[in-house]
Chain A
């Protein structure tokens, strides 16, 4: 941060010289160099050469990216990547959404260049980032120990939070629930005491946009629902072993209680079919009481529904203390995304390319990648990048505006949380501060890179195991099965289906990857 302020101060005081100096420093090639890029990501299926950010980067570095994206007619990035690989004719840079798995699988086969040595020799800023964040480089490595892409590295910690209708609590004379028993009482009151005042018991105490988030309730009984921001993921237990949450004893207890809550109508009875519009529907119809969802987008309803529902106040509250006395927020932003960019085997300028990747980790590159072009979308105010008022007050969200100029897109870059904070609404900011003040976060499982043999074992057993686990889970929640009665059968079926084999390969990969 100090370095940034220094650069900023320099820029502010002697604009011209500083910029001239900076440009000289950042220039990678004397003669303009063109590189082709495949970039497939959810917002756009391609890389726009007219991005303001691309133009600025071209000025500074001399490298010009030309779009060569495959699979533009599909919005599925994995499909596009498969198409690209199957065509065999690879562009210089392969970038975008969900590239980690393919680059780690096909990198060792020769499709992508290993970056370890390239970065060490030619990319001091990226190397400095790895050095200051131990464990991350290992996390993105493939099974051969090399890493093949520079990831998009999100900033900020909190993703989802527990939300509750504070105005309903006030109306019923209740306090914010501090532990699992109080939470139960509150949901029960929502169910029975008609807080929306329409004379009907139509309130839905707990709901979730993705049915999988019903599993977050497992945390209230000291069980886990996932180890990362992906649902149903493995996690590392207290003994440092990779295990799956749905094969633990605590899960049995947690699920029994969830089933009970479901039976009592505390959980949305239609949680499995209501789908992603449930938050919209249940909040705007004044029916939903509590959920577990993203900070920013969920708090946005306070503004959107202010006119429609009198006194509407849906705010984050601290995760209720579990039965075992632990307060934790299981979901957090993952520090490394599987998105970013890689160098393909057909690239004739690997050194220039890695220098170009490094450019985005310099202060200038980072500001450009996060906020867009200085003077166009933001200004430096007291050493802080601040968006122009027309950007903040526009009808379209800031992130959408950024995507249009080529900032915040899925290249390999380090996100700057100041970008998001500037347009986070007041209730969400308060919530984030509340969560920050309490030590709620737990370590994330960042995944392992399986080698070919391990992958074969995983592929053979895991998809079926996962299917079986989810089948039983839903059956138990819906009450068509009884977790207590079936537990022993369940565990022995898991073992019969190869659970132990999967755990074994996960752990051998884990210890290989994170041992050093």
Chain B
């Protein structure tokens, strides 16, 4: 490193250095290699640093607190000072029908969100890709992105108003067609469609950006040769665009499955009623009602831990399956 300035001068010396590096790569210890690597690519590591710190502070350090799931936790005594009670909180949870119901609802709502919500951004992205009129495309994109930036509270307000039996647009339209007005938000059978639909409306547009970016990365030469071969636009979409963005789709799917049980519970809290708990109460809302409002942090931690374990198993399974059959995986 001392004679660095001269290195750029001569080609032979460059070769010598390369050879030296090749040698070093074989013998020195791993630590030295990593140290060298860091020195060389320090800008990249610097960029990585904030994320690592964030992970450590906000995701790893709090794991220390997870132990309260196995303790009789008192805020005043603190995490360390509270006595251990083993699996009592888990026994309480699994002895509670409402917790079991919440698990069932979480899985069902997540599953609906996945099968109805996951394809939507892809379809949207493909559609945007086919639009030729630029102004129309930009306007349409802005309109579908917009709900993502609106607070859940306002979205919930819009939904409540839209489904109101007296003034809501949904019931007004129903009545035009001779139907009877329905008090949607108190009907358990309507909660899931409304919730999943709201989620799609709110997020599909924004999520399509990833796929649009992937589509932009597809080599134009593929399309050019397809045009020469006389392929229709439909065929190009099926045979070129979709297969090209398939790895992106699968990565997104695995991530999505990992987050599957993270139902956006703030939206559920804003929309549900005791009358719809039957289909609407998910693990997170159960935790909120039982744990946070009732001050039972230890029980809430146990429920949260259980949720995390299930999510972990799901993402591992999805990743393994994907690795085996499509050779695309997160790690």
Number of residues from B at the complex interface, CB < 8 A: 30
Q: A272 and B289: CB pair below 8 A? A: no
Q: A270 and B164: CB pair below 8 A? A: yes
Of A88, A459, A474, which one neighbours B296 at CB under 8 angstroms?
A459
Q: A269 and B98: CB pair below 8 A? A: no
Mark each residue of chain A from 412 to 456: 1 if its CB lies under 8 Å from any CB of chain B, else 0.
Answer: 000000000000000000000000000000000000000000000
Q: Could you say which of B46-54, B117-125, B218-226, B272-280 contacts chain A? A: B272-280
Shortest distance from the beta carbon of B168 to any chain A beta carbon, whole Å = 10
Q: Is B197 engaged at the interface, CB distance under 8 Å to the other chain?
A: no
Contact partners of B296 in chain A: CB under 8 A: 459
Taken together as a complex, chains A and B put the C-alpha atoms of A478 and B185 apart, in Å, by 11
Shortest distance from the beta carbon of A305 to any chain B beta carbon, whole Å = 21
Taken together as a complex, chains A and B put the C-alpha atoms of A106 and B98 apart, in Å, by 29
Q: B166 and A111: CB pair below 8 A? A: no
Shortest distance from the beta carbon of B151 to any chain A beta carbon, whole Å = 16
Taken together as a complex, chains A and B put the C-alpha atoms of A463 and B183 apart, in Å, by 27
Q: A273 and B185: CB pair below 8 A? A: yes
Of B75, B97, B183, which one neighbours A478 at CB under 8 angstroms?
B183
Q: Which of B253-302 contact A (CB under 8 A)?
A: 273-275, 277-278, 281, 289-290, 294-296, 299
Q: B277 and A471: CB pair below 8 A? A: yes
Of A85, A110, A459, which one neighbours B294 at CB under 8 angstroms?
A459
Q: Is B67 engaged at the interface, CB distance under 8 Å to the other chain?
A: no
Q: B277 and A467: CB pair below 8 A? A: yes
Q: Is B96 engaged at the interface, CB distance under 8 Å to the other chain?
A: yes
Known interface pairs A467-B98, A478-B186. Does A273 touch B160 (Cβ–Cβ under 8 Å)? yes
Taken together as a complex, chains A and B put the C-alpha atoms of A323 and B160 apart, in Å, by 36
Taken together as a complex, chains A and B put the C-alpha atoms of A516 and B300 apart, in Å, by 37
| Interface SS of A by simple majority | helix
Taken together as a complex, chains A and B put the C-alpha atoms of A460 and B94 apart, in Å, by 12
Looking at B166, B273, B274, B278, which has the most chain A CB atoms within 10 Å of its CB?
Answer: B274
Q: B186 and A109: CB pair below 8 A? A: no
Contact partners of A474 in chain B: CB under 8 A: 186, 273-275
Shortest distance from the beta carbon of B69 to any chain A beta carbon, whole Å = 15
Contact partners of A468 in chain B: CB under 8 A: 98
Q: A480 and B275: CB pair below 8 A? A: yes
Q: B75 and A269: CB pair below 8 A? A: no
Mark each residue of chain A from 63 to 98: 1 if its CB lies under 8 Å from any CB of chain B, else 0.
Answer: 000000000000000100010011010000000000
Known interface pairs A478-B183, A478-B186. Does A467 touch B289 (Cβ–Cβ under 8 Å)? yes
Of B74, B96, B166, B183, which one neighbours A106 at CB under 8 angstroms?
B74
Q: B185 and A110: CB pair below 8 A? A: no
Known interface pairs A471-B274, A474-B275. Does A272 touch B98 (Cβ–Cβ under 8 Å)? no
Q: A464 and B98: CB pair below 8 A? A: yes
Taken together as a complex, chains A and B put the C-alpha atoms of A85 and B188 apart, in Å, by 40
Of B77, B96, B98, B294, which one neighbours A109 at CB under 8 angstroms?
B77
Q: Is A4 engaged at the interface, CB distance under 8 Å to the other chain?
A: no
Q: B183 and A85: CB pair below 8 A? A: no
Q: B166 and A269: CB pair below 8 A? A: yes
Q: Is A303 engaged at the interface, CB distance under 8 Å to the other chain?
A: no
Contact partners of A470 in chain B: CB under 8 A: 274
Taken together as a complex, chains A and B put the C-alpha atoms of A211 and B273 apart, in Å, by 11
Looking at B97, B188, B275, B295, which has the most chain A CB atoms within 10 Å of its CB?
Answer: B275
Known interface pairs A109-B76, A471-B277. Does A463 touch B289 (Cβ–Cβ under 8 Å)? yes
Taken together as a complex, chains A and B put the C-alpha atoms of A514 and B183 apart, in Å, by 46
Shortest distance from the beta carbon of B244 to any chain A beta carbon, whole Å = 46
Q: Is B304 engaged at the interface, CB distance under 8 Å to the other chain?
A: no
Mark each residue of chain A from 454 to 488: 1 if its CB lies under 8 Å from any CB of chain B, else 0.
Answer: 00000110011001101101110010100000000
Q: Which of B169-227 contact A (CB under 8 A)?
A: 183, 185-188
Q: A273 and B78: CB pair below 8 A? A: no
Q: Is B317 engaged at the interface, CB distance under 8 Å to the other chain?
A: no
Contact partners of B188 in chain A: CB under 8 A: 480
The residue of chain B having its C-beta at the shortest distance from the C-beta of A211 within the complex is B273
Q: Is A101 engaged at the interface, CB distance under 8 Å to the other chain?
A: yes
Taken together as a complex, chains A and B put the C-alpha atoms of A480 and B299 apart, in Å, by 32
Known interface pairs A471-B274, A474-B273, A480-B187. Does A464 touch B96 (Cβ–Cβ under 8 Å)? yes
Q: A470-B274, A471-B275 are in contact. List 17 more A-B contacts (CB 8 A).
A: A86-B78, A88-B78, A106-B75, A106-B76, A109-B74, A111-B76, A273-B160, A459-B296, A464-B98, A467-B98, A467-B289, A474-B275, A478-B186, A478-B275, A480-B188, A480-B275, A497-B97
- A sample of 17 inter-chain contacts (CB < 8 A) reads A85-B75, A86-B75, A86-B78, A111-B76, A269-B165, A269-B183, A273-B186, A460-B92, A463-B290, A464-B97, A467-B277, A474-B274, A474-B275, A475-B275, A478-B183, A478-B275, A480-B275
